[in-house]
């Protein structure tokens, strides 16, 4: 197999050097570099956008434009040939760069931005027949090797959204209005902003005026979250609020292929395909796993925005790094310590459950937890029961199903997760056992919440605050019960309660 080699040629009509496959170069062209494997060629400056379309006005042009605008993709993702792309490459409307950038003793992947040497492997390459280095980190999105080019659109935008009509007819609270105005100011000034709002403060509603302002100015907006569940929760709410605006929803496993939109709601992993396209980036649940534990996701989100853009961080539990930036006056912030309905956050209570793991080994629950679950089921109160691991989840779910076969368990690897959550919303499932996958992004009116094994290390302060925040979110049922069943109190449990109490007191001026 012969590898496709690339050349750098000077184009007088563009007054710049472009990269072409060797097969697309002509004898009349001035070759500056190559032919060579693309990663061996020096990096060219990124071209200016909005090149003239020239005489391109055919279905293939518009198909490539819709797929590639605002992104960097592999050739097979475009479903075209180099021959198809030849006119667009010569005109500079589409450009090429190496998928992997050689660094000292390692590489950097231009898609996921990882440069960790452990994230790169070497294997015989089916594309070029040689031994190639490839990126393991983002391989699920398509393999990027030293011989792999990434394609980028530099032509005009295909997005032509109408003036946004905000159909939401609710009323913002005083705290929400303050945050909404700060958001609008940050968008106008292209600045960063932290919105620190307690669980149930109505963060989505706070976004509406700012998003309407941004979309009315023809800005492209990204709302991103580390969790698929959050994206699935946000999509229908945004579509209802902005019914005349096309919205893209992107997440792992999603199959819908919509044309580019001015409002994109995506998981942080999906942002790896975007580059230099968004004027406004809203990061919802900025402290959530895996975002806070994977620097490449932060780089991917930053890569997706334009050089001048506003970044909005939304969270109820900001990390210490973000808090320090605020303290150093390096990041503007606005705090909303009260929920939209004005009631305080439910404060968790601690319930000793003894050696609960021994109980599970004998296929029984601690008596205190049995009583708690039975009361909710008998009285028709929806209940979420959080557990530390999938193994424990399966045991607990099996035990509870003996009492009620409609009880279900969900975790990150559960292919029926979204269906089960939907059935829980509808009341078909009376009690849902879950791992921390549902600690955020789920709102069930009137739900009570329990944690079994809250002393486990997976239940950090922020995780416990978020879990407690699932209760009392409805204005008709604003209180809710939150219980930490434990075999010994931890610092995280105590700090979570202190965090919630502090927020409750802050609004009261104490």
Query: Concatenated DSSP letters for 123-151?
Result: EE-TTTSSEEEEESTTGGG---BTT-EEE
The H or E element that residue 223 is part of is strand 221-225
Phi-psi region of 79 (alpha: psi -120 to 50; beta: other; left: phi over 0): left
In the chain, which segments carry CATH 3.40.50.300?
A: 174-336, 349-508
Of the candidates 149, 128, 155, which has an alpha carbon nearest to the alpha carbon of residue 7? 149
pLDDT score, position 56: 66
pTM of the predicted model as reported, rounded to 2 decimal places: 0.86
Q: Please write down the long-range contacts of 422-431, taking CB distance under 8 Å and 24 or more positions apart.
A: 424/382, 427/382, 430/376, 430/377, 430/380, 430/382, 430/383, 430/404, 430/406, 431/373, 431/376, 431/377, 431/382, 431/383, 431/384, 431/385, 431/400, 431/404, 431/407
DSSP state of 211: H
Strand partners for 352 = 486
What distance in Å separates the CA atoms of residue 386 and residue 388, rounded to the nearest whole number?
7
pLDDT score, position 159: 82
pLDDT score, position 70: 93
Task: Output phi, psi for 61, to 5 deg.
Answer: -55, -50
What distance in Å separates the CA atoms of residue 106 and residue 319, rounded to the nearest whole number?
30
DSSP E strand boundaries for 42-147: 72-73, 94-98, 100-103, 106-109, 120-124, 131-135
* Local confidence pLDDT in tens for the 510 residues of the chain: 345 899 999 988 888 899 999 988 888 888 999 899 999 999 888 766 555 445 566 888 889 999 999 999 999 999 999 999 999 999 899 999 999 999 988 999 999 989 999 999 999 887 777 889 999 999 999 999 999 999 999 988 888 778 999 999 889 999 999 999 999 999 999 999 999 999 989 999 999 999 999 999 999 999 999 888 888 889 999 999 999 999 999 988 766 667 789 999 999 999 999 999 999 999 988 777 666 667 888 888 999 999 999 999 999 999 888 999 999 999 999 999 999 888 999 999 999 999 999 999 999 999 999 999 999 999 999 999 999 999 999 999 999 999 999 999 999 899 999 899 999 999 999 999 999 999 987 889 999 999 999 999 999 999 999 999 999 998 889 999 999 999 999 999 999 999 999 999 985 434
Strand partners for 431 = 383
Strand partners for 434 = 386, 410
Residues in the chain: 510
Number of H helices, E strands in the chain: 14, 23
Instruction: Kindly state the tokens that stand for 425.
Output: 């919303």
Chain-centre distance of CA 77, in angstroms?
21
pLDDT score, position 465: 96
CB contact burial 53-81 (16+ within 10 A = b; e otherwise): eeebeeeebeebbebbbbbbbbbebbebe
pLDDT score, position 126: 77
Helix 417-426 with 228-241: angle, nearest 10 deg? 50
Q: How many CB atoms lie within 10 A of CB 496?
A: 27
DSSP state of 485: E
DSSP state of 272: G
SS3 19: strand
Q: How many CB atoms lie within 10 A of CB 251?
A: 18
pLDDT score, position 497: 97
Decide if 315 contacts 196 (C-beta within 8 A).
yes
What CA–CA distances, in Å, run from 125 to 102, 119, 147?
18, 17, 9
What distance in Å separates the CA atoms of residue 483 and residue 454, rounded to the nearest whole number?
9
**Token pair 């279900």 in the structure block, residue:** 408
What distance in Å separates the CA atoms of residue 331 and residue 451, rounded to the nearest whole number?
34
Longest dimension (CA), the chain: 84
What distance in Å separates the CA atoms of residue 198 and residue 465, rounded to the nearest whole number?
9
Please give the CATH architecture assigned to the domain spanning 349-508: 3-Layer(aba) Sandwich (3.40)
Q: Which residues contact 409 (CB under 8 A, 6 or more apart)?
A: 393, 394, 396, 397, 420, 432, 433, 434
Of the candidates 352, 399, 411, 349, which has an alpha carbon nearest to the alpha carbon of residue 373? 399
DSSP state of 501: H
Q: Which residues contact 367 (CB under 8 A, 6 or more apart)?
A: none
Question: Helices (DSSP H) in 265-389: which residue ranges?
Answer: 295-304, 320-327, 356-361, 367-378
SS3 180: helix
Say if residue 35 is preceded by a cis peptide, omega within 30 of 0.
Answer: yes
Instruction: Kindly state the tokens that stand for 381.
Output: 């109160």
**174-336 sits in which CATH class?**
alpha beta
């Amino acid at each position: 197999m012969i590898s496709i080699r690339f050349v750098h040629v000077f184009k007088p009509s563009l007054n710049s050097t472009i990269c072409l496959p060797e097969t697309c170069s002509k004898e009349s062209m001035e070759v500056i570099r190559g032919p060579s494997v693309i990663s061996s060629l020096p990096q060219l400056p990124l071209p200016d956008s909005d090149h003239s379309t020239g005489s391109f006005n055919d279905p293939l042009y518009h198909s490539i434009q819709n797929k590639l605008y605002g992104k960097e993709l592999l050739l097979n993702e475009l479903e075209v040939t180099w021959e198809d792309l030849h006119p667009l490459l010569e005109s500079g409307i589409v450009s090429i760069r190496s998928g992997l950038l050689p660094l000292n003793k390692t590489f950097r992947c231009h898609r996921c931005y990882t440069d960790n040497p452990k994230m790169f492997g070497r294997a015989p390459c089916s594309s070029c027949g040689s031994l190639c280095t490839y990126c393991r980190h983002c391989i699920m999105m398509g393999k990027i090797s030293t011989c792999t080019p990434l394609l980028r659109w530099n032509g005009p935008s295909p997005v032509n959204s109408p003036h946004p009509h905000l159909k939401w007819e609710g009323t913002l609270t005083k705290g929400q209005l303050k945050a909404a105005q700060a958001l609008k100011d940050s968008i106008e000034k292209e600045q960063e902003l932290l919105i620190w709002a307690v669980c149930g403060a109505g963060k989505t509603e706070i976004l509406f005026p700012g998003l309407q302002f941004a979309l009315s100015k023809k800005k492209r907006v990204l709302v991103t979250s580390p969790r698929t569940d959050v994206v699935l929760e946000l999509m229908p709410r945004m579509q209802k609020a902005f019914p005349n605006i096309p919205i893209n929803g992107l997440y792992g496993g999603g199959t819908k292929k919509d044309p580019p939109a001015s409002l994109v709601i995506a998981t942080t992993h999906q942002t790896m395909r975007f580059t230099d396209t968004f004027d406004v980036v809203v990061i919802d649940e900025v402290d959530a796993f895996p975002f806070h534990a994977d620097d490449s996701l932060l780089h991917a989100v930053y890569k997706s925005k334009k050089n001048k853009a506003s970044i909005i961080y939304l969270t109820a539990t900001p990390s210490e790094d973000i808090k320090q930036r605020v303290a150093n006056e390096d990041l503007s912030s606005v705090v909303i310590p009260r929920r939209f309905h004005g009631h305080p956050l439910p404060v968790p209570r601690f319930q000793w459950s003894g050696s609960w793991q021994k109980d599970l080994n004998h296929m029984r629950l601690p008596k205190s937890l049995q009583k708690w679950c039975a009361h909710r089921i008998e009285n028709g109160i929806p209940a979420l029961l959080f557990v530390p691991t999938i193994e424990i989840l399966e045991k607990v779910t099996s035990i509870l199903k003996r009492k009620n076969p409609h009880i279900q368990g969900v975790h990150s690897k559960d292919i029926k997760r979204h269906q089960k959550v939907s059935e829980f919303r509808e009341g078909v499932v009376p009690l849902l056992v879950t791992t921390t996958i549902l600690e955020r992004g789920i709102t069930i009116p009137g739900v009570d919440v329990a944690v079994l094994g809250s002393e486990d290390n997976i239940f950090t302060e922020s995780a416990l605050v978020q879990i407690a925040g699932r209760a009392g979110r409805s204005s008709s049922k604003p209180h809710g019960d939150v219980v930490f069943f434990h075999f010994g109190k931890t610092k995280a449990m105590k700090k979570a309660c202190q965090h919630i109490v502090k927020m409750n007191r802050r609004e009261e001026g104490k």
